[in-house]
Amino acid sequence: MILVRNENLLQCAKISENGSILLGNNTVVDGYHHGREVGVFTHIHGSHAPFFINAMHECSALFVSRPTLELLTAPSINSDLNPTPEACFGRRHIHVLDFEAQALAGKYIHDTNPTKYYDKITLYQSHHMLGSSQVLVVTSDGIRAAYSNDFAIPQASPLKCDALVIDATHGGPMFNSPVDAVNLKDMFVEYVKEEVEAGRSVCIRAHMSRLQHTMHLLSKTLAPNIRFMSAPDNRRLVRVYAKYGMPIRDVVPSGTWRAEKIVEGSSPFVEFKTTSECKSDHEVEKKSVVFNLEDVKIGHTTMIRQNVDNPNHYFVELGEHVMYSNILEYIKNCSPGVVITYATRSGWGEHLARKIDDALGTDMIAQSVSKAMTA
């Protein structure tokens, strides 16, 4: 849906054919686009960084937050080499942009006039995961274009802008949670604690980063003798989380003799797996209580639900995303003239666009993009 009242602003916020976000004159976010020489990546989740390698080849400069670069380049937890993040990319054109610092993109473009069509880029914390960012781009003629994808309210600050691209994944009222995130985390931790104290082992399944955050939460709560296990790819991020104030107890690598001794022992343990990893024998034999951490689902009023077919399996709707009830207030505080509801991952873009247009007045464009708005 397009309600056009200011075409000029639409030129500074677009969606490319491959789903990349185009801001300002020369910046591409979470992807790559031919002719866009400056790239930004907001965080490490697979849905946002699938084109990272492509962007390394297409862009003259890439910007990420410091934690994001360290997560992207985290070595094995047992590595003695421990190279700097920059060295992992051969000191290529990847630049750390600290939160609320500003980069003049024109300086990184091979052009005789670096101020021509330049973009000023600033990252702001989105509080979705460690290192995740909102992006603000200010063009050479002063237009402010912003991208807010996965973010949490009230922690994330609204970005004052003229054109805003916002994720529509939770763009319907049925995505409101009846329990706030802090209380839900406390409830989940208590569930796990009760199972372990009853002598039952636990398996936590979640996306990368949410998995490590959960390791940190349970490290603070469970008795010190409860052992943690996880695959090497999951363990390698532990050091980065510890560096940024989220320490995690020793995590034994799955599949090793140390892990086998823990599994064969009499004490309960906690295993951490991504959602795509194969089931362990303990899961298959229903010896472990499984907690599957997922985003908020449509129409559920219970945020921790027991699987009706398997009483040892729980679904926990513990998503670090803004709820529908907060989106309109966030947009209102951004004061944009153009809003693009980015609906590539969701069918709620048009619904959200209509709600924005109805609620926030006639001076705003609300546009839903389900696949692409080409440059």
State pLDDT tens for residues 90-100.
546 788 899 99
Six token digits for residue 322: 């803004």
Strands (E) in the chain, as ranges, are: 13-15, 21-23, 27-29, 38-40, 61-64, 94-96, 102-104, 119-125, 133-139, 144-148, 163-167, 201-206, 227-230, 251-253, 269-274, 288-294, 304-307, 310-317, 338-342, 365-369
> What would be the CATH architecture of the domain defined by 7-174+323-369?
4-Layer Sandwich (3.60)
DSSP state letters, 208-262: TTHHHHHHHHHHHHS-TT-EEEE-HHHHTTHHHHHHTT-----EEETTSHHHHHH
Tens-digit pLDDT profile for residues 274-312: 988 998 888 888 889 999 987 655 444 456 777 777 888
Tens-digit pLDDT profile for residues 36-95: 989 999 988 777 777 888 888 888 889 999 999 888 888 655 555 555 555 555 546 788
How far does CA 129 lie from the centroid of its chain?
A: 6
Domains of the chain, residue spans = 7-174+323-369, 181-317
Domain 7-174+323-369 identical in fold to domain 181-317: no
- Domain 181-317: assigned CATH number: 3.40.50.10890
In the chain, which residues have pLDDT < 50? Answer: 1-5, 91, 298-301, 362-363, 370-375
- The tally of CA atoms less than 13 A away on the side-chain side of residue 339 is 35
3-state SS class at 13: strand
> pTM for the whole thing?
0.83
Phi-psi region of 199 (alpha: psi -120 to 50; beta: other; left: phi over 0): left
